[in-house]
Amino acid sequence: MLWLCIQFPKLPLEVLTRAQRGGAESHAQAVVEQQLIVDANQTAAERGVETGLTIATACALCANLQLLQRDSQREDQQLQQLAQWGYSFTPVVSPQAAGSVDAGDDHFACLYLELSGCLKASGGLQPLLQQLKRELRQMRISCFMGLGHSPSAARMLSQLPEHRQWLRETQAPPSPQQWRQWISFSPSKLLDCDNKTIAKLYACGIKRVSQLLAIPLSEVGSRFGRNFVDYLARLNGTRHDPVPSYQPPPEFHSELFFPSPLDNSEQLLFPAGRLVRELCQQLQRRQLYSHQLRWKLDFGQQGCKVFSVEVSRPLLDAQRLIALTKLQLERIKLEQPIQALSLTCDQLLPMEQDKLDDDLFGKDTQVQRSHQLLDKLKARLGHEALSGVTLKESYLPEQAWQSADTLVLQSNRRKKGHQLQPINAPRPTWLLSRPDKLHSREHKLFYRGEIKLLQGPERIDGYWWQHGRHGRDYYIARGEEGGLYWVFQDLTSEDWYLHGVYA
Amino acid sequence: MSNAENLLQNNQLADPSKQQRLSQLLARPDIWQAANEHKRQRGGIASGFSSLDALLTGRGWPRGATTELLVNQSGIGEISLLLPALAELTQREQMVVLVNPPFIPYAPALASAGVQLEKLLIIHPRGQKDELWATEQALQSGCCGALLSWQGRQAPVDKDLRRLQLAAREGDCLHFHFRPQSCAASPSPASLRLQLGSDGDQLAVQLLKQLGGQSGQRLHLARSADLVRRDQPLH
């Protein structure tokens, strides 16, 4: 077993400020929980603001300090997301939330990854670690790491500077002997136990773990209790060290929070791009795709606005998804400043080989291009502006067609089974959405001048068994200027109507 | 070797590259050479009316270009003029897009004309800005065989027409633009302009402008006999 522990020391601050652009580092910011500073950014730290100070002291040290309330819920969400990210490297992942200030527990949030199974796929230990670090840097999350034969050991060693130094240069995982050396070398304060126990250890003169291990276990047990002995055994690797295993949810959800609300949809593009890239990475690793991207603009107290981007084919190209999102954003008028932006994909479907959009050489085929066009049109004009037409079986002319979903367009395979045949009679190319009543005077019909009947009648008498009878005599008529029209006389009311145009 | 001879040789050397450049220039679709008239590519899409094809330089509707159809009133057979070409395109699995058609395209009539209905896309953008955007996107996408658009209440400015013409060339798409006859006097970048009118039972076509070809000819196309047959009146 090879466990990697990634600790996130600045998570409380980073979940709140991650959405800002790089330039925002310049002013001092600190996260506060229960009147105490939890975390401070670089600028604030330079002025002496550090964890554990009261707000009053911090403000005295740094007058223009911006205070942000700690948001544990958001931190949890972020940690879940990080676990999902970690899941793309190895199937054995376990997140551990940060301790809260009031419990007196100040350990950082961390993530355990079991690496022994994925070293080969990632090309060795060092490339894997580099990749993890690089991706965390892209997500703007700072971290430090430790490697161990059990989660407890990895966690302890991640705090040991010598181990971290080694980790930066190593090529291969260490031998069991090396681990034992590091563990014995570690100072006792790095042990994961409460402050009272550590004080007791130091009172006994046990400054290094090696001194502790030299004492017989029964002696340690009687002094520090059974739990502590258990912990030592897990640290040593003599006992199993179980951690809760993480299972990724079947959907994607990610959220960005803006400390200073945005009021311009153009400003949204940058954070939206970041979310889309995160999504694409996740999907690609898990070999899934999504048909619908649901965006939520959160206005805080004033509610929220949801819009969705639909993709007709599996698409993992972040650039194209961003372009589609941009088209939607252009349609939206922002009435209130936006406080948070979130991206959700409810249904993630497994990718099938033949469904993947890009072929090996990146060439667009005709079908792909038409899909891209449809997506673009849908994104800007809305779903309802696009339609197709199909035949329908009916005697009534206005019911012999129906507007089809545009998705029908995409199947270039012929539908099997029963095919509807159009009626074998001259029908107009244009149909009026509702029949236009014609003026008639002295047995003459008028539509932009007088019209004369050429052919007819063709009697269509349908639905007499139902409530409203539709009995009509259809004629082809010609107008004064040569236009051919399809007109009918209603048999019940004897009124004349224009129903179609032979264009 | 004398200086003059040297110069002559240099000139001969430079000749092939010049020749190449010239032939590149002459290959452009918008340069017309009377001498090469018979060699020109007949790249048009057959309209289905042989008498009309004979008048058009490409022996058919010009590909990758705008064709303007000036019609004042619908019902004179202006869509029937295009239907054979549209049917041909949809059967070749190419998309045909209708942007803001004035009425509902009636499926039974289109199907009996041979149009594959599943290849037909109708879009209804709101406002001129969206309409022009959608038209341009569809034209340049390269997946549309033909696009039919109707001029709305507001006539598009010359710049927009030029953009659509360029988009059609980029996407190699037939663009049919229906406009009222009052636009005949105003210049247009379209490569073919036809004025359509009605003359008795026939559709009267007049070529107003043809890029790289003659214009001014008139043509009468008979309408389907099924339509214009006169029955004995009942009333």
Do A53 and A184 lie in one domain? The reply is yes
Residue A372 in any domain: the answer is no
What's residue A287's pLDDT?
78
The answer to whether residue A138 scores a pLDDT higher than 50 is yes
The answer to whether residue A411 scores a pLDDT higher than 60 is no
Do A116 and A183 lie in one domain? The reply is yes
What's residue B1's pLDDT?
45
Which residue ranges form the domains of chain B, and what is each CATH number? 45-226 (3.40.50.300)
Strand order across the A109-114 sheet: A93-96, A109-114, A3-8, A144-148
Q: Rounded to whole angstroms, how far apart are CA atoms B39 and B35? A: 9
Domain ends where: A358, A389, A406?
Answer: A358
In this predicted model, what pLDDT tens digit does every residue of B134-170 receive, in sequence order? Answer: 999 899 888 888 999 998 888 888 889 999 988 988 8
Select from B125, B122, B145, B142 the least CA-distant residue to B134: B125
Residue of A nearest to B231 (CA): A455
Residues of B in contact with A501 (CB under 8 A): 74-75, 103
Secondary structure letter of residue B176 according to DSSP: E
Q: Rounded to whole angstroms, how far apart are CA atoms B151 and B37? A: 34
Residues of A in contact with B113 (CB under 8 A): 429
Domain ends where: A236, A266, A297?
Answer: A236
In this predicted model, what pLDDT tens digit does every residue of B43-98 receive, in sequence order? Answer: 778 888 888 888 888 788 888 889 999 988 888 888 888 988 999 888 888 889 99
Give the three-state DSSP class for B162: helix
Residue range B3-25: mean pLDDT, rounded: 68
Predicted ipTM? 0.80
Residue range B103-129: mean pLDDT, rounded: 87
- Check A376 against B137: CB less than 8 A apart: yes
Do A231 and A256 lie in one domain? The reply is no
C-alpha separations of A285 from A123, A237, A294, A491 in Å:
16, 32, 20, 67
Residues of B in contact with A430 (CB under 8 A): 74, 79, 101-106
Q: Does A376 touch chain B (CB under 8 A)?
A: yes
Distance to chain A for B189, nearest Cα, Å: 25
Q: How many CB pairs under 8 A join A and B?
A: 188
- Check B123 against A457: CB less than 8 A apart: no
Q: Does A455 touch chain B (CB under 8 A)?
A: yes
Q: Rounded to whole angstroms, how far apart are CA atoms A33 and A54? A: 10
Q: Does A460 touch chain B (CB under 8 A)?
A: no
Q: Which of residues 33-72 of B touch A (CB under 8 A)?
A: 72
Residue of B nearest to A366 (CA): B143
Q: Which of residues 131-160 of B touch A (CB under 8 A)?
A: 133-134, 137-138, 141-144
Residue A373 in any domain: the answer is no
- Check B108 against A401: CB less than 8 A apart: yes
Residue of B nearest to A476 (CA): B227
Q: Does A380 touch chain B (CB under 8 A)?
A: yes
Residue A409 in any domain: the answer is no
Do A210 and A318 lie in one domain? The reply is no
Do A203 and A300 lie in one domain? The reply is no
Domain that includes residue A469, residue range: 430-501
- Check B123 against A381: CB less than 8 A apart: yes
| DSSP of A454-466 | EEEEEEEEE-TTS
Do A184 and A256 lie in one domain? The reply is no
- Check A433 against B117: CB less than 8 A apart: no
Residues of B in contact with A426 (CB under 8 A): 224, 226-227
In this predicted model, what pLDDT tens digit does every residue of B192-229 receive, in sequence order? Answer: 899 988 887 788 888 888 887 788 888 888 887 777 77
Residue A231 in any domain: the answer is yes
Two structure tokens written together for B46:
């057959």
Do A216 and A264 lie in one domain? The reply is no
- Check A401 against B74: CB less than 8 A apart: no
What's residue A354's pLDDT?
56
The enclosing domain of A302 has a CATH number of 3.30.1490.100
Residue A368 in any domain: the answer is no
Q: Rounded to whole angstroms, how far apart are CA atoms A486 and A497? A: 9
Residue of A nearest to B235 (CA): A443
Q: Does A448 touch chain B (CB under 8 A)?
A: yes
Two structure tokens written together for A28:
């001092």
- Check A483 against B103: CB less than 8 A apart: no
Domain ends where: A236, A260, A278?
Answer: A236
| Closest by Cβ to A388, choosing from B122, B125, B233 | B122
**Best of A369, A394, A484 to mutate (most B CBs within 10 Å, chain B):** A484
Largest CA distance in chain B: 100
Q: Does B107 touch chain A (CB under 8 A)?
A: yes
Distance to chain B for A361, nearest Cα, Å: 19
Do A230 and A320 lie in one domain? The reply is no
What's residue A412's pLDDT?
46
The answer to whether residue A143 scores a pLDDT higher than 60 is yes
Residue of A nearest to B129 (CA): A381
Do A189 and A281 lie in one domain? The reply is no
Bridge partners (DSSP) of residue A32 are: A37, A69
Task: Output the CA angle A168-A174-A175, nearest 5 degrees.
Answer: 165
Give the three-state DSSP class for A371: helix
Residue B34 CB-density burial (10 A; 0-12 exposed, 13-18 middle, 19+ buried): exposed
Question: Into how many domains does chain A fold?
Answer: 3
Residue A1 CB-density burial (10 A; 0-12 exposed, 13-18 middle, 19+ buried): middle
- Check B108 against A385: CB less than 8 A apart: no
Do A44 and A176 lie in one domain? The reply is yes
Residue A383 in any domain: the answer is no
Mean pLDDT of chain A: 80
Residue range A298-305: mean pLDDT, rounded: 83
- Check A400 against B230: CB less than 8 A apart: no
Two structure tokens written together for B47:
């309209």
In this predicted model, what pLDDT tens digit does every residue of A471-498 receive, in sequence order? Answer: 888 888 888 888 888 888 888 888 888 8
Which helix (H) or strand (E) segment holds residue A98: the answer is: none
Q: Rounded to whole angstroms, how far apart are CA atoms A225 and A207? A: 19
Residue A226 in any domain: the answer is yes
> Is A30 or B232 the better-scoring residue by pLDDT?
A30
Cβ atoms of B209 and B193 closer than 8 Å: yes
Residue A411 in any domain: the answer is no
| DSSP of A282-335 | HHHHHTEEESEEEEEEE-GGG-EEEEEEE-SS----HHHHHHHHHHHHHHPPP-
- Of the spans A15-24, A201-210, A406-415, which averages the highest pLDDT? A201-210
> Is B123 or A359 the better-scoring residue by pLDDT?
B123
Of A68-82, A236-250, B144-158, B177-191, the least confident: A236-250
Distance to chain B for A391, nearest Cα, Å: 6
Residue B13 CB-density burial (10 A; 0-12 exposed, 13-18 middle, 19+ buried): exposed
| Closest by Cβ to B134, choosing from A377, A432, A456 | A377
Tell me the percentage of chain A whose pLDDT exceeds 90. Answer: 0
Alpha carbon B68 to chain centroid, angstroms: 7
Residues of A in contact with B72 (CB under 8 A): 481
Q: Does A411 touch chain B (CB under 8 A)?
A: yes
Peptide bond into A457 cis (omega under 30): yes
| Closest by Cβ to B118, choosing from A388, A427, A433 | A388
Do A265 and A159 lie in one domain? The reply is no
Q: Does A453 touch chain B (CB under 8 A)?
A: yes
**Best of B94, B98, B106, B223 to mutate (most A CBs within 10 Å, chain A):** B106
What's residue A23's pLDDT?
52
What's residue B177's pLDDT?
92
Do A103 and A173 lie in one domain? The reply is yes
